[in-house]
Amino acid sequence: MRGARSLATCWPVAETLWWEAAMEEPGLSGCPLSAKTASFQDAVRTLNTLQTNANYLEMVKRKRGDPQTQLEAMKLYLARSGLQVEDLDQLNIIHITGTKGKGSTCAFTERILRSYGLKTGFFSSPHLVQVRERIRINGQPISSELFTKHFWRLYHRLEETKDDSSCVSMPGYFRFLTLMAFHVFLQEKVDLAVLEVGIGGAYDCTNIIRKPVVCGITSLGIDHTGLLGDTMEKIAWQKGGIFKSGVPAFTVLQPDEPLAVLRDRAQQISCPLYLCPPLQALEEGGPPLTLGLEGEHQWSNAALALQVARCWLQQKGYQDAGELKASRPSLPGQLPLAPVFQPTPRMQQGLRHTEWPGRTQLLRRGPLTWYLDGAHPPSSMQACVRWFRQALHRCERPDSGSEVRVLLFNSTGDRDSAALLKLLQPCQFDYAIFCPNLAEMASTDNADQQNFTVTLDQVLLRCLAHQQHWSRLHEEQVSPDPWSTPGQEQDGPASLLLAPHPPHTHSASSLVFSCISHALQWITQGRDPLFQPPSPPRGLLAHPVADSGAMVLQEAAAIHVLVTGSLHLVGGVLKLLEPSLSQ
């Protein structure tokens, strides 16, 4: 293999090796800058030195440490930062994990409680455009000034207490940000903190907390198998690791086997675990609930958020927490059902006003409609496909001219990209575009975009593999559309096929670009009124498919672009389409 060139791709992924962080290479920061003179970008560049370079990361993958010791290491970092685990009890924490929808559930929960006039903290990952998005106060990313101040205060404190003889003198990227979130929330005196688990639960560095007020587990699925295990039961065991004795916990309907694992985990430590009734049960007898996030899969997330928020309010002595309806008895041997209650007007307001960029998000720009969803596990991709096709059904058809569908895709880590692409096939895309999670080829001016955990060779080879999977799927002519209703004619009125449809094959209509900017330049053909980059680089359209496709896109009456497979990819697209997010 050629030399491992460090790549400034979008968003650090070092946290995927969260329980191996004790072996991370020390940061190459040199002499730290003065907190008084350093800029926000200086802080982020220094933060990026806590990433692990690609070669070292490969060695770490082959030689894993004991995950339990990593929690102990995190407690030591916390102590070196000037806090004890007991100090975190003041944060009145809501702890959320799961495979699908944990970020959306956190967003719903935070917005509901903010509707009660509470000052909220919210820690999440990954970020889409700027790293400060991960630490929010009252729903807004902390300011660049606040980030810079707290970053240098924590960084210097850890620098002063590090042991140069140790191989882990500074915490890794995700651990550092977790520590920083704790400090920010305590210093800003939030009334509560919503913590989204990074990966798993049992050994995630957020799990050093002793006494959350309430915990929640969203829908489970297969993801991060190299870290969490290759079965739903193993993954459920990891997720159930956030349960604490005597702390109420809630989950949504799960397959029987992983649900049994969660139940056993809860019983072993005397954690009261409840199963959330569906959202429709809470709507009965009251006004229909409106969600700020699109997609049927968000109903489950909203149902969990309502139960978690109500439990928090009750635990803290609030009276206006929703009037109980007639309770539904639990079946013998099953989890007890969470209460069915009437959501209060403030809860309804919170659900309605929830925003969570990059998840079932629509942007309409001239003839282009962007459908942004960072789905990456297979079950999330199924939900994404349902949402995309339903959204297409609802949109107005142009009076004349063609409509074109474009897929912009990437996936990272140990995910099965072939399986994800197979789920996307029924969408009948005209063009499939693959590119790395790299906003622009030269991103050194924006430290938020730097990532040293992968190489340019690796990510480009991965994109070429995606293209090959896509071509093979077409050639295999796999089974009929699993999303269509049996007996429906493919060209019938309920079909989601676009017409007129250019006569070409998927294998002949896929392209790989070296960065997101080049991909967007080709897709938009200058027709997005807000995305107006410099003229495309020489040779960008020097491919027959790119050349002929450009003509199709220039003449289309409507262009529908689904961006999916990776939240990092979605973030890179948002960075270019919405420049204000970078300010």
Pairing relation of β-strands 120-123 and 135-137? antiparallel
Residues 156 and 232 in one domain: yes
310 is in an annotated binding site: no
Question: Does any domain span residue 5?
Answer: no
Give the pLDDT confidence of 551-580 residue by residue, as tens digits.
999 999 999 999 999 999 999 999 999 988
Provide the 3-class DSSP secondary structure of residue 568: helix
CA distance 353 to 291: 7
Residues 545 and 453 in one domain: yes
Residues 421 and 567 in one domain: yes
Closest CA to 93 of 217, 241, 211: 211
CA distance 434 to 462: 9
Residues 131 and 221 in one domain: yes
Q: Which of 353, 378, 407 is a domain's end point?
A: 353
Closest CA to 341 of 273, 289, 387: 289
CA distance 251 to 265: 13
Give the pLDDT confidence of 125-164 residue by residue, as tens digits.
999 999 999 999 999 999 999 999 999 999 999 999 987 6
125 is in an annotated binding site: yes
183 is in an annotated binding site: no
Give the number of other CB atoms < 10 A from CB of residue 338: 27
Q: How many domains does the chain have?
A: 2
Q: Between the CA of residue 439 and those of 374, 443, 449, 572, what are the distances in Å?
A: 15, 7, 8, 5
Tokens describing residue 8: 């400034």
CA distance 115 to 123: 18
Residues 467 and 540 in one domain: yes
Element (H, E) at 550: helix 544-555
Q: What is the CATH number of the domain that holds 432?
A: 3.90.190.20
330 is in an annotated binding site: no
Residues in the chain: 583
Question: Does any domain span residue 130?
Answer: yes
Query: For the whole model, what pTM was predicted?
Result: 0.85
Closest CA to 94 of 18, 13, 206, 202: 206
Q: What is the CATH number of the domain that holds 147?
A: 3.40.1190.10
CA distance 559 to 426: 17
> Looking up tokens 């960072």, which residue turns up?
374
Element (H, E) at 405: strand 403-409
Residues 264 and 246 in one domain: yes
Residues 419 and 541 in one domain: yes
pLDDT for position 452: 59
> Looking up tokens 């969203």, which residue turns up?
218
Question: Does any domain span residue 100?
Answer: yes
Domain that includes residue 140, residue range? 66-353
Tokens describing residue 548: 């002929």
Largest pairwise CA distance in the chain: 71
Residues 332 and 417 in one domain: no
If 0-12 CB within 10 Å is exposed, 13-18 middle and 19+ buried, where does residue 231 land? Answer: middle
Residues 512 and 438 in one domain: yes
Tokens describing residue 512: 């790989």
> Looking up tokens 């993958």, which residue turns up?
61
pLDDT for position 36: 54
Phi, psi of 521 (to 5 degrees): -60, -40
Question: Does any domain span residue 500?
Answer: no
Would you give the distance in Å from CA 343 to the centre of its chain?
A: 27
509-538: string of b/e by CB count within 10 Å (b at 16+)?
Answer: bbbbbbbbbbbbbbbbbeebeebeeeebee
pLDDT tens for the chain, residues 1 to 583: 333 333 333 333 333 333 333 223 333 344 445 555 578 999 999 999 998 655 544 555 555 567 888 899 999 999 999 999 999 999 999 999 999 999 999 999 999 999 999 999 999 999 999 999 999 999 999 999 999 999 999 999 999 998 766 655 899 999 999 999 999 999 999 999 999 999 999 999 999 999 999 999 999 988 776 778 879 999 999 999 999 999 999 999 999 999 999 999 999 999 999 999 999 999 998 889 999 999 999 999 999 999 999 999 999 999 888 888 866 666 656 899 999 999 999 999 999 999 999 999 999 999 999 999 999 888 899 999 999 999 999 888 887 889 999 999 999 877 899 999 999 999 999 999 999 999 987 655 556 656 656 678 889 999 999 999 999 988 875 445 554 444 343 333 333 333 334 444 444 489 999 999 999 999 999 999 999 887 666 666 567 788 899 999 999 999 999 999 999 999 999 999 998 888 7
Please report which residue ranges of 89-143 form alpha helices under DSSP H: 102-114
Residues 253 and 372 in one domain: no
Q: Which of 316, 336, 353 is a domain's end point?
A: 353
Residues 150 and 249 in one domain: yes
State the average pLDDT for the chain: 84
Residues 214 and 247 in one domain: yes
CA distance 347 to 303: 11
Question: Does any domain span residue 201?
Answer: yes
Question: Does any domain span residue 47?
Answer: no
The residues near 290 (Cβ < 8 Å, ≥ 6 apart) are 348, 351, 352
> Looking up tokens 């958020």, which residue turns up?
305
359 is in an annotated binding site: yes
Question: Does any domain span residue 491?
Answer: no
Question: Does any domain span residue 30?
Answer: no
CA distance 67 to 432: 39
Give the pLDDT confidence of 277-331 residue by residue, as tens digits.
999 999 998 889 999 999 999 999 999 999 999 999 999 999 888 888 866 666 6
Radius of gyration of the chain (CA): 24
Q: Please answer whether residues 75 and 87 qualify as being in contact, where contact means their C-beta atoms are separated by less than 8 angstroms.
A: no
Q: Which of 315, 332, 353 is a domain's end point?
A: 353
